[in-house]
Amino acid sequence: MNARTMDSKLKQIKGTGKSEELFARAKELMPGGVNSPVRSFRGVGGSPLFIARGAGSHLWDVDGNEYIDYVGSWGPLIIGHSHPDVIAAVQRTAENGTSFGAPNPLEVDLAELVIKLVPGVEMVRMVNSGTEATMSALRLARAYTGRNKIVKFIGCYHGHSDALLIKAGSGAATLGIPDSPGVTPSVAATTITVPFNDVPALEAAFKADGKDIAGVIIEPVVGNMGTVPPKPGYLEAVRRITRDQGALLIFDEVMTGFRVALNCAQSLYNIDPDLTTLGKVIGGGLPVGAYGGKRKIMEMVAPAGPMYQAGTLSGNPLAMVAGLTTLGKLAEPGVFEGLMARTDELVGLLRETLHRLKLNYQVNHVGAMFTLFFTDRPVWNWDDAATCDTKRYAAFFHAMLRRGVYLAPSQFEACFTGTAHSAEDIDHTAQAAHEALKEVCGC
């Protein structure tokens, strides 16, 4: 890797030999050398960085290089890496045991806080990942309505359960495998896909299959084709159609929850979903997911009701306390507003840079997530996102990395800001973006 070309307090990139050695070893041991696909850098080429530590908004790789981080473990670390309060709470809690497989008080505390913060959630069940949350929410929608089919949107990603790996975004889109082999045709046949931000397409799906549709699952702001907001009135239409047709509306807020607004996307757009799925921020960097919603629906979940779902480590005290501490910090007066203002500032500077360089690329932004799309076309759905120049994004990603800025290693992912990003981080990032765009666009 080349040295940084800009004036900065961040130290010079010294090379990434140790990461490369580790990746060579890892590839012999793990498929693609990783435990989750996008981190392999397949979307941008080159060798992934192996991370030694993180503090606040910064990461250090095993070679000692320092980066400003806009991945934040793909969203959970909204108050920064190794936040002292989270670390202290986890350490204190661990001294009393890591998991009991029996109820513990922290589960009740986190459930109470989640119900207070998420308007559509009256009852909640904790699980260990976003995938478990969405998979369970679909089962619940089927159990509640007695119907079999679900609707999802092309380019949305809801984790890797079979029914949801159809026209999926995120890593599946990055790697060009939106419909995974191994998903049986009978499962695939129960998933109907329609384009995002397209009301007539959803109406047509209900016209064709309405009596069989148990639920519609949607990322209210898509993060998994890059950041794509709903058009004005779109979510209202989705709510109206599902209500009229007796299907449940499932807001997948695994990414948007506590990120686009403290009270989630449903508060930002004033929509009342039947079920909500959560993940990422709710666990503060430890493995947590959750699904919740209206009491009469949630009471179908075992042991209150007949729909079975369980988890050995669900609600474990370490994960609960990390989530509680993170949400508690975010909810402190002024904290979320500060995060919004800082993100607005960064996005404003990026747009200004594009304007100055006469580049007509798109910056989409909602709350603390944003994406710079390398396309001239406004991005409202997967067809628009697919027009991006992914090769140029890859070159930009590496040009930013050389300047000490770690962005999402795929065009089809959102970048995340957090409360630890400082004014200096934002200035450095904007300056780096200016130089990197000039370099890769030849302007």
Please list the active-site residues. Answer: 157, 252, 280
Dihedral angle of Cα 69, 158, 173, 402, to the nearest 10 degrees: 0
Nearer to ligand PLP, 10 or 288 (CB): 288
Rounded to a whole number of angstroms, the minimum distance from the CB of residue 294 to ligand PLP is: 20
Nearer to ligand PLP, 74 or 370 (CB): 74
Instruction: Name the residue type at position 319.
Output: A
Nearer to ligand PLP, 46 or 75 (CB): 75
* Segments of 46-159 assigned E as strands: 51-55, 58-61, 66-69, 123-127, 149-153
Nearer to ligand PLP, 12 or 161 (CB): 161
Nearer to ligand PLP, 118 or 354 (CB): 118
**Other C-beta atoms lying within 10 Å of the C-beta of residue 380:** 19
User: Which residue's beta carbon is nearest to the bound ligand PLP?
Assistant: 130
Beta bridge partners of 371: 364
Nearer to ligand PLP, 170 or 411 (CB): 170
Rounded to whole angstroms, the Cα distance separating 153 from 142 reads 18
Rounded to a whole number of angstroms, the minimum distance from the CB of residue 38 to ligand PLP is: 9
Instruction: Name the residue type at position 77.
Output: L
Rounded to a whole number of angstroms, the minimum distance from the CB of residue 372 to ligand PLP is: 19
Rounded to a whole number of angstroms, the minimum distance from the CB of residue 170 to ligand PLP is: 6
Query: Which residue, among 132, 153, 282, has the nearest Cα to 225 in the 3D structure?
Result: 153
Angle between helices 317-330 and 84-94 (to 10 degrees): 150
Provide CB contacts within 8 A for 44, sequence distance 6+. Answer: 393, 394, 397, 398, 409, 410
Nearer to ligand PLP, 39 or 83 (CB): 39
Positions that interact with ligand PLP (CB under 6 A): 74, 129-131, 134, 157-159, 170, 219, 223-224, 252, 254-255, 279, 289
Rounded to a whole number of angstroms, the minimum distance from the CB of residue 117 to ligand PLP is: 18
Rounded to a whole number of angstroms, the minimum distance from the CB of residue 160 to ligand PLP is: 7
Q: Kindly state the helix (H) or strand (E) to which residue 278 belongs, with its residue range.
A: strand 275-278
Query: Which residue, among 313, 251, 277, has the nearest Cα to 133 in the 3D structure?
Result: 277
Q: Where are the alpha helices (DSSP H) in 146-286?
A: 170-174, 185-188, 199-209, 234-245, 264-268
Rounded to a whole number of angstroms, the minimum distance from the CB of residue 400 to ligand PLP is: 21
DSSP reduced 3-state for 264? helix
Rounded to whole angstroms, the Cα distance separating 372 from 364 reads 7
- Ramachandran category for residue 168: left, alpha or beta (phi over 0 → left; psi -120 to 50 → alpha): beta
